[in-house]
Amino acid sequence: MQSVSATEAKQGLAAVLEACVREPVVIQRQKRDVAVVISVQEYERLTRVNVAEFQRFCDTVGERAAQAGLNEEKLAALLADA
């Protein structure tokens, strides 16, 4: 992964944008990582992975709730009491 200073990124934005198509580019300020520039394709891939993972989580929680006897009626009653 390539790293550049914030000053280098500002002065060479076009180069940073070209580089991020190949790999993420870390931008540092005072020798600390402060940002990562990634391609749109990588961003979309990460978004899809996160959505899929969240859906798996929701499915697991739903299955456990159903196994514990929670149904729409009981859930409505719980929410009404809140």
Give the pLDDT band (50/70/90) at residue 81.
Answer: confident
Res 75 pLDDT > 70: yes
Domain count of the fold of the chain: 2
Q: Give me the pLDDT at residue 82, please.
A: 67
* CA proximity to 27, closest of 43, 11, 41: 11
The answer to whether 25 and 16 are in contact (CB under 8 A) is: yes
pTM of the complete model: 0.68
Q: Are residues 25 and 12 in the same domain?
A: yes
- Alpha-carbon separation of residue 20 from 6, 45, 66 (angstroms): 15, 14, 45
Average pLDDT, stretch 37-64?
96
- Clarify whether residues 68 and 56 are in a common domain: yes
Count CB neighbours of 9 within 10 A. Answer: 21
**Same domain (yes/no): 56, 75:** yes
12 has pLDDT over 90: yes
Residue-range definition of the domain harbouring residue 66: 41-81
Cα(56)–Cα(62) distance, rounded to whole angstroms? 10
Q: Where residue 12 sits, what CATH number does that domain have?
A: 3.40.1620.10
